[in-house]
Amino acid sequence: MNRPICIIGTGYVGMACMIGLAELGWTVHGYDISTDRIERLRHGQPPYREQGLQEALRHHVAHGRMHFFDSVAEAVRDTEIAIVAVGTPSHEDGSADVRALECVLAELSTIRFASWPTIVVRSTVPPGTCDRLAPLVERWGDLVYAPEFLREGSAVHDFLKPDRIIVGSRRPLIAVPYVRLFEALQKPVVFTSLCNAELVKGCSNAFLAMKITYANEVANLCDALGTHYDDVLRGMGYDPRIGSDFLRPGIGFGGPCFEKDVKSMRHTAIQLETSRELFSATLRVNERQPMRVIEALCAEIGSIEGAAIGVWGLAFKAGTDDIRHSLAVRIIEELAERGAVMTVYDPAVYVAPLPPGSRLVRSAVEATDADALVVLTDWPEFYGIDPFSFAHMLRRRVVIDGCNVLDARRIASAGLTYRGIGRPGTPSAAQLSYASAL
Ligand code: UDX
């Protein structure tokens, strides 16, 4: 019989890994430092919202394929493979904080495994980290680095449908037990060094962040030229060397990964005294991009001081309730600083710390009882809301669409002025009829 696989850390990465492996038929043991979380998981309650997650968790717990432990020693008992997926947040200077990972490895070194174990690091770490940590492990086990490429909102799906499997180790043979877990997926495997595997992860995320940033620069250029980005980026995306994925402009990239990973790559380059212009420029442009929404709002309504602003969207992207590093939160804070009060609606976020005076409401239309509306998360359902259902509520008749999810024409036909990112202002129907009367 196959031995169980242990997963240490039950955040997005760890949970997706547990469920994905259980779906592939493996028995999995989960451990987390939070005993509360373990208790909830035992009762089939996932630590975050994701479509299908709760059902999958309950199914695998009920069928005895998934077990949760509040002690590492018990969780790894009888296992030969332990996958470590603990958080590696950013320090102030952009370097990654790998202390949680070091603590787990130190704890594992005190445990007597049934046989020589393979320890797989899955947390994102800067290049060179695993080579530095390898001596800690090599006295009692093998160390492998296997990065993940999961998106929040589709993490289990991404786990089960990877484009490639990257494994780093000091010798290829060491990585074989880990790669065997994915035999059923029949995906290309890249065997490489620990450092190269770390670089694949960091450089991939930095590239995607840079690609989004590029799309934002193109959109900003379109704004300045008074033209629409849609055809420009669509036209570019058909070139397979460019591709249309991640070429969607907006308020910038948010979330717990991209900014942290680009900062970590830049920090590594600084440490090594090598060039980091693209990392720095990506971060700089992304810092500025949310201000585009505020500038567009100022251009339409004048002073922000004392304005009531309706906000659609708080999560860092559609399909998640995660507001960590959400640029929507940053924009709301900036608007509050300038004296505005916000009424916020997000289909998935029910609790959030908002600036004094601002509040969360339970319906999109309720949030439009305001001077102007800004859209800060790309929820597709916003597209489906009939502008005539709220046009009369918007006192200054202005909609700033930071995510380009609304239909500019329909908004204008309801008598509202529409501005997107890279989609210059659309005159409202009222303005149009005034113009035609002239
Ligand atoms: C990302 C990576 O995609 C994943 O491979 C990695 O493992 C973790 O980080 P995630 O942060 O979940 O995943 O979200 P993703 O869908 O990649 O979006 C990140 C941010 O970029 C969001 O704020 C999103 O709105 C923004 N984005 C994405 C754009 O602004 N434009 C795009 O074209 C795509």
% of the chain surpassing 90 pLDDT: 91
Architecture of the domain spanning 291-437:
3-Layer(aba) Sandwich (3.40)
Q: What pLDDT, on a 0 to 100 scale, did the predictor assign at position 1?
A: 63
CATH superfamily to which 5-192 belongs = NAD(P)-binding Rossmann-like Domain (3.40.50.720)
Q: What pLDDT, on a 0 to 100 scale, did the predictor assign at position 90?
A: 87
pLDDT, tens digit (0-9, with 9 covering 90-100), for 370-424: 999 999 999 999 999 999 999 999 999 999 999 999 999 999 999 999 999 998 8
Q: How many angstroms does the Cα of residue 246 sit away from the middle of ligand 1?
A: 8
Q: What pLDDT, on a 0 to 100 scale, did the predictor assign at position 48?
A: 84
Q: How many angstroms does the Cα of residue 327 sit away from the middle of ligand 1?
A: 12
Q: How many angstroms does the Cα of residue 281 sit away from the middle of ligand 1?
A: 18
Does 212 contact ligand 1 (Cβ within 6 A)? Answer: yes
Minimal-distance CA residue to ligand 1 atom 16? 151
Nearest-atom index, ligand 1, CA of 247: 33
Does 313 contact ligand 1 (Cβ within 6 A)? Answer: no
CATH 1.20.120.530 fits 201-287, yes or no: no
Nearest-atom index, ligand 1, CA of 317: 25
For the segment 75-90, the average pLDDT, to the nearest whole number, is 95
Q: How many angstroms does the Cα of residue 4 sit away from the middle of ligand 1?
A: 32
Q: Which of 245, 253, 265 to mutate to test the pocket of ligand 1 (most atoms within 8 A of CB)?
A: 253
Respond yes or no: is residue 222 known to be catalytic.
no
pLDDT, tens digit (0-9, with 9 covering 90-100), for 7-22: 999 999 999 999 999 9
Q: How many angstroms does the Cα of residue 258 sit away from the middle of ligand 1?
A: 7
- Pairwise CA distance, residues 278 & 256, whole Å: 20
**What's the mean pLDDT when you consider all of the chain?**
94
Q: Which of 164, 207, 251, 317 to mutate to test the pocket of ligand 1 (most atoms within 8 A of CB)?
A: 317
Kindly report the pTM of this predicted structure: 0.93
Q: Are 402 and 379 a contacting pair, CB within 8 Å? A: no
Instruction: Tell me which of 17, 222, 257, 403 is the catalytic residue.
Output: 257
For the segment 63-75, the average pLDDT, to the nearest whole number, is 96
Does 330 contact ligand 1 (Cβ within 6 A)? Answer: no
Each domain of the chain, given as residue ranges in start order, spans 5-192, 201-287, 291-437
For the segment 161-189, the average pLDDT, to the nearest whole number, is 96
pLDDT, tens digit (0-9, with 9 covering 90-100), for 291-333: 999 999 999 999 999 999 999 999 999 999 999 999 999 999 9
pLDDT of 436 above 50: no
Domains 201-287 and 291-437 share a fold: no
